[in-house]
Structure formats: structure tokens, C-alpha cells
């Protein structure tokens, strides 16, 4: 098989519009293992991004030794990307896995047994409950647990304890997706389908570097753009990504708005639909409300006004709007460039506005994919471990609360519903003051991934809050905990998860976890047992012992809700590969696409939220919602653009923005332990435009200091493809490093980011902060950044010195006058 570090998307399998994406099975086995050596293949799906590619895990001698794509899987048709291929299994047998619980004694974490660790947790938990009540407890979880684990945690938090302080790191990556769906359509849930790629004639990607974040989905798009009757691509991204190059190649357009100006651009696009009457009036009148207010809101955003704000040529904006206005089917995808900016929900809702105005939703080739960052983020949202109520129920609707109280056999007043759920940044604020005195963190690493990381470290290390961390490794966060619990990971436990496209996969246990590590489900059950949470009849409030039983309980509680799992079971998920919800009596084989009848879950008694003001985040009351009588119609909502919270000035003249690289996932707990992935992006860097670099006297590979009002990092500089005035940094790198890099203490991008969030989704803003850059000294070669991605050097950058990490630039060829770069073969894998 070809090296998928260099050939990220693999061989093309082009096909014409309206035909099925051909299968191509990708396989990787660890060195020395041949296919014939594999003893068992175990059904699963990849857990390294939100795409959820179906795969089988290769097992030999009780170890996971590789993965193979499932040809019949609805998501990937057999393909796997670099992270899935090379990053799925090496971490599992890493020598630094946690294998025993740890407790802090005299300032040190020391090994102990499960009973002692759990006794310590329960002692603190019960003490705080008695003294301060359930609001003293907070839970911060992940986008990588299984559905059964989220649901069990949700029941513990909402029916056992009764705390509203629950959220996931999904708040950092996907909260805006959920919020935008709720605002426009009344409930969470992806309307579109990946099969829309096969039918559309244009694809708009908004702030979505799909070639690096969901590589297999991008391969699916490339197989359309390289086939007959290809769609045009429109890219909205301040960086010159592979999406931007494909936009130019397909006759589309690359819109590169100044960082922090997304909403102005979107208002301009929506306005163009009105001006040119690219509006399906009959559909809008029957299926939406709010069109007149929306027209009024966007009216000031002429192409010239947008050009002034965004730095995008007025003609390019017009071209993009025309492509949207004249296409018969547009697929839109949205990700962090929108979600992690200020006005995140308003900008993402504007994407829905474009589709609703054209009536382009619910039919093949006309869909929206508000993407997720993490593989099981969708389940966190569905099950309520993120603070929402399970089953997309409305915390502000007493009937919905009662449904859950009945299902759990607890008093409705136990179920937190007196205020909106507490979001992650607020949980950290409460933990900072000690108002939350017990914080349980599972499968996430906020010491690296949350904004303003010095503050987060202080909170986690302080005595005011007792912290439990459950994870695979002694992460930067676990090192600060009071108790650390060793968890089993993917392949070491059984459970289900749902990808961004509503597709549910079963992931079966392939091997035993190491040492005394336990599944997250078993850990939560152990806590529930030890705490003695009971229902109104004195029975345990958590009534299941196994993952399959938890799944059954979850399916039952989804009855009648948009996210209906009642027709799914483990047996049904075995064999076939990927079934999209809702699955019920009406749709026994799942549902590829929502809203095919133009009816949305906006009825006041059924919806998940009554909505918000997109500017202030102020809530719409039940009475106000009822007065609008949405009755199944979608909301067209708009908001004026406002500048970002922190803009460049004299002291900090540049704009700092963070993002991802294809070779690493989150804080690298898994990908950092995969040799080939880590070597492709081994250390942190920042990207500067050639203009800014020249002004600052910085050359490729130089060590630079990047400072914001909150902190500083010292990393090497890539003279790259960011726009002048912007500085890009990958957020993956904390102080842990497999190679014990000496400089690893000063490289975490989130030292610089701000504690601010979108008023509706509460998603933190990672994309805009003011910074300054100063040159420290010459480096020993090019920056340790990949050279075949959006992080490639700018054309003409002299980078001939030997690489110290990400690969020396050795060749280039010109595609539409846009340079491509490949790794030095000596640096590969």
C-alpha cells in the first residue's frame, strides 16, 4: 500500500454525478504482520475524527495490530485516512499506559487499588453533597466516549446527583453545530447526508479544512470533482488550503475573509440571493418564518461593504452567490473556522438561511453538514452528558423534564431544569472559585485544549476543587488531578457511537485493556454503586450492568423524539455497517436525509429550544415562541456583524488564530504515539505570511516568540500561506512529548487564546486574539511543519536546509500556479 503520510487521500476513484461512490479498501498492519497472520477481525469504526469510517480491527496474540476499512460501510466505502490507518492502534500497547489508579498523597500521585481510589472519590463527593448539595459537582467529559457511557453519566448527573454542571470538550469543537440546528430547525440533528456529495452540483465549505480534518470525506469529494459532471467548489477560509486550490481548479471561488469577519461575508451572500431573486418564494412561504426580518438585517451588506470589512473582492462574493443561486443542488459543510470564531452561531445559521431561501434542503444533493470535530461528539449532545437533556428534550419544557423523570423514576425536581445547562467555561469558572468543589474529567485534556491554558492549569492544580481524571495516559491534565483512574480505550471495550452524519456504528471489544484499566462505563457504574443513587422506589437509579443494556435503556428514552433509536439494537448493528437515525417502526432501516417533507421539529411543544437572540444570546420565552406559531416551519434568523472581542493594536499588531494539522488529533494522546504521524508533525510551529515575516526579519525555521496579553510561546516559524496580518498555530501540542523535546514547555497555542465565547452556543473563541511576534534566533532548518498541507511554505520560500522535523521541502510542481510540496522521502513514515 502507498504511504498515506505523503499521499493523504489515496488513489482517486472518480465517478459521474448520481452514481455510487466506488469502494476502495484501505488496510494497514503494523510492521512484521501480514494479512495471513491476523487471527481475528473485529467490527468497529474509526475514532480519530467525526467522520466515523467503518473499519475492522486486526487482532493477533491478544493485541490490536492494525485496521482495515469496511467496503460495505455507508460512510467510507472501505477507505481510511492517515490518522485512522496509522493512529488507531499503536497507543494501545504504549508502555506509558495507565494501568493502576493513582491518588495524590503529600503532593505526589502514587499508585493504589481501585477500592482506595473510589473510596477517596466517594468520601469527597458525599461530603460535598451533604455540605453544599449537588451544585458542588461538575463533570467535564469528551467527544470520544461511547454512547452508553455518556448516557450513563447523564443519568448519574441528572437523576442521581441533580447537577446542571455537565459539559464535554464538545463545547470546544461542536457546540455551534448543535446550536445552529436548534436555532434554525428547532432541534439538533444533521439534515444532510454524505450521499449529497454524489448528487450536488456545487459544494460550499465554510471554515472547513476538510482535507485535513476529515480526510476520507474529502477523498469522496475529490472523486466527484475528478469525475464526469463535477461540482464546483467554493471555499471560505482565510488560508490557502487544499479546498481553496480545488475551488480554483473546479471554476469555483476562494473567499478569504479577514479572520473574524465571517458573519459580514455571510450576510453579503444572503443579501445577493434576495437582490437577484434566487429565492424559492413558494417554499419559503410554506416552510419558513422570518424572511422579511432577515432581508432587512442583511440589506446593508452590499458586496462593496462586505469587501471593506472582509477584504474579499466584491466580484468574488458575487460569483460565489451566483454559484449558490443558480445551482440545482448545493451541499454546504461548516466547521471550526466558523464555530470557533466570535458570532459563531449567527454565521452558521446564515448557512442555513442560504439553503432555506432556495428551498434546498431535504432532497438529494441539497443539504447541510454542520460538522463535528470529534468522533462521538454527536452522542454527547444526544445523551445529555453535555448538559442538554437526553433525546433532544427542552430543559425549559416541563413536559419534557417529566418524561425523563418518569423514565428514571425520580422526582422531576431532581432533574436540573431551572436554568440553562452550565457550559464548560462556566464550569471552569465555578471550579476556580470553589463553588464547584468536585470536578470529574473523563477522556479529555483541558490543560492543553482549553483557552488561556495557564488559567486552566491553575484551576486544576488548586486546592479549591477536588479533581478526578480518567484517561488512557497521565496527560497534562491528569498530572494535576487528585485521583487518576486508568481507562480502557477504543477496541478494549464495547459500545456504539454516532458520527456527524447521524450514522450509528457498533464497536466491539477486540482485546483486554492493560493492567487494571476499566471501561469508562464500568468506572461510572462503580461510582453510582458506591454513592448509592436510588430512584423513588429505592432501586438503583442506573439499572444496567452492561453496554448492551445501557444501549437498550437509551433507545427506550429516545422514543418519539427526533433522535429515535428505538429500532436499533446491537444485533441489528452487527454485520451491516452504519445505520443513520432515526431508526424506528416507520424507518426500520434508518433515514439517510432529514426534512424531506419540509417539516421541521419547531412546534413549541416538541422543539429542543425556544431559541435565542443571535447577537446577545438572550433566550426566547415559551410564550414568545408560541406566539410565532412556527408549527413545523424553519426559522430564518439574522444578525448584524460586529468586530471581534480583541483586535490588533499598537502593542499586539497581529491576529493570532489556531487550528489543526492532518497528522495529529486533539492533544496527541493517540497520534503522538504513532511514529509515522508524529514524525510528520513532531513539534509546534507558527505560520506567518511572507510580508509579515519580511517586516519582522524572520526566516523560515527561525525561533520566534509569540505573545498575547495572556501568555507567550516560543516555537519555530513557517513562512506560510496565511494572509498578511494573521499568525496561525496548531493547538495540538502541550508539554508532553514522546521524544522528550527540551522546548516542549513553551509551545501550547492556548497559552495565548482568550476566555470568551459565542453568546448562543457558548463555544470558546479560538480564532481571534491579538498577538505580537519577535524573532529569537535562527533555527536549524525549516519549521517542523508538514509541507504537503495548508501548512506548506509560501511559494518561493527558501527551505533547502535539512529538516529537523516535519520534512525538508525538496520538490514542487505547479497546479494552476499554486505550488504543491512533498515530503523528503527520507523523512517519510
Given candidates 29, 42, 48, 64, which one binds ligand SF4 under the rule CB under 6 A? 48
81 scored as a contact of ligand SF4 (CB under 6 A): yes
Reduced to 3 states, what is the DSSP secondary structure of residue 441? strand
- Residue 578 CB: number of other CB atoms within 10 A? 25
Q: Is 85 or 349 the residue whose CB approaches ligand SF4 more closely? A: 85
Binding mask 508-547 for ligand SF4 (x = CB under 6 A): ----------------------------------------
Cβ contact 122:531 at 8 Å: yes
Q: Contact region for ligand SF4 (CB under 6 A) — 80-88, 202-210, 223-231, 710-718?
A: 80-88
Q: Which residues, numbered 86-105, are part of the site for ligand SF4 (CB under 6 A)?
A: none
Q: Which residues contact 115 (CB under 8 A, 6 or more apart)?
A: none
Q: Is 218 or 652 the residue whose CB approaches ligand SF4 more closely? A: 218
Given candidates 29, 38, 80, 221, which one binds ligand SF4 under the rule CB under 6 A? 80
648 scored as a contact of ligand SF4 (CB under 6 A): no
Q: Is 408 or 497 the residue whose CB approaches ligand SF4 more closely? A: 497
The CB-of-147 to ligand SF4 minimum distance in angstroms stands at: 16
In whole angstroms, what is the distance from residue 247 CA to residue 497 CA?
33
Chain CA centroid to CA 530, Å? 33
53 scored as a contact of ligand SF4 (CB under 6 A): yes
The CB-of-253 to ligand SF4 minimum distance in angstroms stands at: 26
Given candidates 6, 43, 51, 584, which one binds ligand SF4 under the rule CB under 6 A? 51
49 scored as a contact of ligand SF4 (CB under 6 A): yes
The CB-of-81 to ligand SF4 minimum distance in angstroms stands at: 3
Q: Is 210 or 636 the residue whose CB approaches ligand SF4 more closely? A: 210
Looking at residue 91, what DSSP letter applies?
G
- Residue 406 CB: number of other CB atoms within 10 A? 11
Q: Is 320 or 503 the residue whose CB approaches ligand SF4 more closely? A: 503
DSSP string, 725-766: TEEEEES---S--TT--TTGGG--GGGS--S-B-TTT--B--
Binding mask 560-599 for ligand SF4 (x = CB under 6 A): ----------------------------------------
Q: Contact region for ligand SF4 (CB under 6 A) — 41-49, 160-168, 233-241, 631-639?
A: 41-49
Q: Helices 314-326 and 303-310, interaxial angle, to 10°?
A: 120
DSSP string, 757-814: B-TTT--B--S-EEEEEEEEE--SSS-SS-SSSTTSPPTT----SPPSSS--EEEEEE
Cβ contact 358:331 at 8 Å: no
In whole angstroms, what is the distance from residue 707 CA to residue 712 CA?
4
Q: Is 503 or 773 the residue whose CB approaches ligand SF4 more closely? A: 503
674 scored as a contact of ligand SF4 (CB under 6 A): no
Reduced to 3 states, what is the DSSP secondary structure of residue 650? coil
Compute φ and ψ for 326, nearest 5 degrees. Answer: -110, 0
Q: Contact region for ligand SF4 (CB under 6 A) — 43-51, 165-173, 330-338, 801-809?
A: 43-51
Q: Is 74 or 76 the residue whose CB approaches ligand SF4 more closely? A: 76
Q: Contact region for ligand SF4 (CB under 6 A) — 77-85, 113-121, 220-228, 777-785?
A: 77-85
The CB-of-227 to ligand SF4 minimum distance in angstroms stands at: 20
Q: Contact region for ligand SF4 (CB under 6 A) — 56-64, 73-81, 685-693, 732-740?
A: 73-81
Q: Is 46 or 792 the residue whose CB approaches ligand SF4 more closely? A: 46
Q: Contact region for ligand SF4 (CB under 6 A) — 74-82, 536-544, 712-720, 723-731?
A: 74-82
Q: Is 493 or 660 the residue whose CB approaches ligand SF4 more closely? A: 660
In whole angstroms, what is the distance from residue 271 CA to residue 299 CA?
6
Q: Contact region for ligand SF4 (CB under 6 A) — 45-53, 132-140, 356-364, 558-566?
A: 45-53
CB-closest chain residue to ligand SF4: 84
In whole angstroms, what is the distance from residue 594 CA to residue 743 CA?
49
Nearest CA to 743 out of 701, 783, 713, 785 is that of 713
C-alpha cell at 6: 505523503
What b/e sequence results for 173-202 when a residue is b if at least 16 CB atoms lie within 10 Å of its CB, and e otherwise? bbbbbbbbbbbbbbbbbbbbbbbbbbbbbb
The CB-of-675 to ligand SF4 minimum distance in angstroms stands at: 17
Q: Is 137 or 224 the residue whose CB approaches ligand SF4 more closely? A: 224
Q: Is 46 or 344 the residue whose CB approaches ligand SF4 more closely? A: 46
Task: With CB under 6 A as the rule, give the number of residues binding ligand SF4.
Answer: 14
Specify the DSSP element, H or E, that contains 199. helix 196-199
In whole angstroms, what is the distance from residue 774 CA to residue 717 CA?
10
Given candidates 10, 66, 84, 230, which one binds ligand SF4 under the rule CB under 6 A? 84
The CB-of-42 to ligand SF4 minimum distance in angstroms stands at: 16
311 scored as a contact of ligand SF4 (CB under 6 A): no
Cell numbers 501480514 correspond to 34
Q: For the chain, first and last CA: distance in Å? A: 13
Q: Which residues, numbered 195-234, are part of the site for ligand SF4 (CB under 6 A)?
A: 214-216
Given candidates 28, 70, 83, 182, which one binds ligand SF4 under the rule CB under 6 A? 83
137 scored as a contact of ligand SF4 (CB under 6 A): no
The CB-of-293 to ligand SF4 minimum distance in angstroms stands at: 39
The CB-of-92 to ligand SF4 minimum distance in angstroms stands at: 15
In whole angstroms, what is the distance from residue 63 CA to residue 176 CA?
38
Cβ burial, residue 493 (10 Å; 0-12/13-18/19+): buried
In whole angstroms, what is the distance from residue 792 CA to residue 798 CA?
12
Cβ contact 706:750 at 8 Å: no
Q: Contact region for ligand SF4 (CB under 6 A) — 76-84, 189-197, 473-481, 578-586?
A: 76-84
In whole angstroms, what is the distance from residue 230 CA to residue 415 CA?
51
In the complex, the residues that contact ligand SF4 under the rule CB under 6 A are: 46, 48-49, 51-53, 76, 80-81, 83-84, 214-216
Amino acid at each position: 500500500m502507498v504511504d498515506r503520510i505523503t499521499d493523504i487521500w489515496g488513489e482517486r476513484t472518480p465517478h459521474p454525478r448520481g452514481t455510487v461512490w466506488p469502494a476502495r479498501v484501505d488496510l494497514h498492519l503494523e510492521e512484521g504482520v501480514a494479512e495471513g497472520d491476523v487471527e481475528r477481525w473485529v467490527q468497529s469504526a474509526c475514532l480519530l475524527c467525526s467522520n466515523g469510517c467503518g473499519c475492522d480491527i486486526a487482532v493477533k496474540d491478544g493485541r490490536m495490530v492494525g485496521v482495515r476499512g469496511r467496503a460495505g460501510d455507508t460512510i467510507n466505502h472501505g477507505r481510511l485516512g492517515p490518522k485512522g490507518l496509522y493512529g488507531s492502534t499503536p497507543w494501545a500497547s504504549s508502555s506509558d499506559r495507565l494501568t493502576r489508579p493513582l491518588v495524590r498523597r503529600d503532593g505526589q500521585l502514587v499508585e493504589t487499588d481501585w477500592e482506595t481510589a473510589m473510596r477517596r472519590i466517594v468520601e469527597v463527593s458525599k461530603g460535598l453533597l451533604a455540605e453544599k448539595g449537588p451544585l458542588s459537582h461538575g463533570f467535564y467529559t469528551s467527544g470520544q466516549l461511547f454512547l452508553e457511557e455518556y448516557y450513563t453519566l447523564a443519568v448519574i448527573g441528572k437523576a442521581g446527583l441533580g447537577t446542571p454542571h455537565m459539559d464535554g470538550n464538545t463545547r470546544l469543537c461542536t457546540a455551534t453545530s448543535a446550536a445552529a440546528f436548534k436555532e434554525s430547525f428547532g432541534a439538533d440533528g444533521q439534515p444532510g447526508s454524505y450521499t449529497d456529495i454524489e448528487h450536488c452540483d456545487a459544494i460550499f465549505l465554510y471554515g472547513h479544512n476538510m482535507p485535513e480534518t476529515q480526510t476520507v470525506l474529502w477523498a469522496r469529494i475529490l472523486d466527484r470533482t475528478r469525475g464526469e459532471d463535477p461540482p464546483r467548489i467554493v471555499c471560505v477560509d482565510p488560508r490557502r488550503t487544499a479546498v481553496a486550490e480545488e475551488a480554483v481548479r473546479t471554476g469555483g471561488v476562494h473567499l478569504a475573509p479577514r479572520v473574524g469577519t465571517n458573519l459580514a461575508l455571510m450576510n453579503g451572500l444572503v443579501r445577493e440571493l434576495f437582490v437577484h431573486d434566487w429565492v424559492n418564494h413558494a417554499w419559503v412561504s410554506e416552510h419558513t418564518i422570518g424572511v422579511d426580518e432577515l432581508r432587512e438585517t442583511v440589506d446593508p451588506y452590499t458586496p462593496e461593504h462586505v469587501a471593506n470589512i472582509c477584504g474579499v473582492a466584491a466580484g468574488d462574493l458575487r460569483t460565489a452567490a451566483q454559484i449558490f443561486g443558480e445551482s440545482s443542488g448545493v451541499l454546504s459543510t461548516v466547521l471550526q473556522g466558523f464555530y470557533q470564531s466570535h458570532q459563531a452561531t449567527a454565521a452558521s445559521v446564515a448557512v442555513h438561511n442560504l439553503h432555506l431561501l432556495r428551498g434546498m434542503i431535504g432532497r438529494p444533493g441539497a443539504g447541510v453538514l454542520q460538522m463535528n470535530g470529534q468522533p462521538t461528539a454527536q452522542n454527547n449532545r444526544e445523551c445529555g452528558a453535555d448538559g442538554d437533556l437526553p433525546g433532544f428534550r427542552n430543559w425549559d419544557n416541563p413536559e419534557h423534564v417529566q418524561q425523563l423523570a418518569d423514565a428514571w423514576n425520580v422526582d422531576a425536581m431532581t432533574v436540573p431544569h431551572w436554568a440553562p445547562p452550565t457550559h464548560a467555561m462556566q464550569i471552569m469558572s465555578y471550579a476556580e472559585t470553589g463553588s464547584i468543589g468536585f470536578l470529574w474529567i473523563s477522556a479529555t485534556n483541558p490543560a492543553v485544549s482549553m483557552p488561556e491554558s495557564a488559567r486552566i492549569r491553575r484551576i486544576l492544580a488548586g486546592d479549591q476543587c477536588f479533581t478526578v481524571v480518567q484517561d488512557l495516559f497521565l496527560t497534562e491534565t491528569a498530572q494535576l488531578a487528585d485521583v487518576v483512574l486508568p481507562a480502557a480505550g477504543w477496541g478494549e471495550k464495547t459500545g456504539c457511537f454516532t458520527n456527524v452524519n447521524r450514522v450509528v456504528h457498533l464497536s466491539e471489544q477486540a482485546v483486554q485493556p492493560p493492567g487494571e484499566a476499566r471501561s469508562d462505563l464500568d468506572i461510572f457504574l462503580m461510582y453510582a454503586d458506591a454513592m448509592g443513587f436510588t430512584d423513588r422506589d429505592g432501586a438503583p437509579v442506573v439499572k444496567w450492568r452492561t453496554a448492551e443494556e445501557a444501549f437498550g435503556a437509551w433507545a427506550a428514552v429516545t422514543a418519539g423524539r427526533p433522535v429515535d433509536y428505538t429500532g436499533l439494537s446491537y444485533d441489528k448493528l452487527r454485520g451491516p455497517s452504519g445505520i443513520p437515525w432515526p431508526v424506528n417502526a416507520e424507518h426500520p432501516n434508518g433515514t439517510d436525509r432529514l426534512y424531506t417533507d419540509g417539516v421541521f421539529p419547531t412546534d413549541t411543544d416538541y422543539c429542543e429550544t425556544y431559541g435565542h437572540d443571535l447577537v446577545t444570546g438572550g433566550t426566547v420565552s415559551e410564550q414568545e415562541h408560541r406566539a410565532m406559531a412556527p408549527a413545523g416551519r424553519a426559522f430564518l434568523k439574522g444578525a448584524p456583524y460586529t468586530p471581534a472581542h480583541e483586535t490588533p493594536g499598537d502593542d499586539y499588531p497581529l491576529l493570532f488564530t489556531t487550528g489543526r494539522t492532518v497528522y495529529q488529533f486533539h492533544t496527541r494522546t493517540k497520534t503522538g504515539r504513532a511514529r509515522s504521524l508524529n514524525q510528520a508533525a513532531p513539534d509546534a510551529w507558527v505560520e506567518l505570511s511572507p510580508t509579515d515575516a519580511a517586516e519582522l526579519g524572520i526566516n523560515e525555521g527561525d525561533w520566534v516568540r509569540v505573545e498575547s496579553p495572556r501568555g507567550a510561546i516560543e516555537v519555530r516559524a513557517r513562512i506560510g500561506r496565511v494572509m498578511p496580518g494573521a499568525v496561525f498555530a496548531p493547538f495540538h501540542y502541550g508539554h508532553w512529548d514522546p521524544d522528550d523535546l527540551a522546548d516542549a514547555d513553551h509551545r501550547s497555542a492556548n497559552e495565548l487564546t482568550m476566555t470568551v465565547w459565542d453568546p448562543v452556543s457558548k463555544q470558546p473563541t479560538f480564532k481571534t486574539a491579538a498577538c505580537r511576534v519577535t524573532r529569537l534566533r535562527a533555527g536549524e532548518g525549516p519549521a517542523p511543519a508538514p509541507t504537503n498541507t495548508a501548512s506548506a511554505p509560501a511559494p518561493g520560500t527558501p527551505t533547502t536546509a535539512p529538516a529537523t522535523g516535519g520534512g525538508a521541502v525538496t520538490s514542487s510542481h505547479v497546479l494552476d500556479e499554486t505550488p504543491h510540496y512533498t515530503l523528503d522521502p527520507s523523512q517519510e513514515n
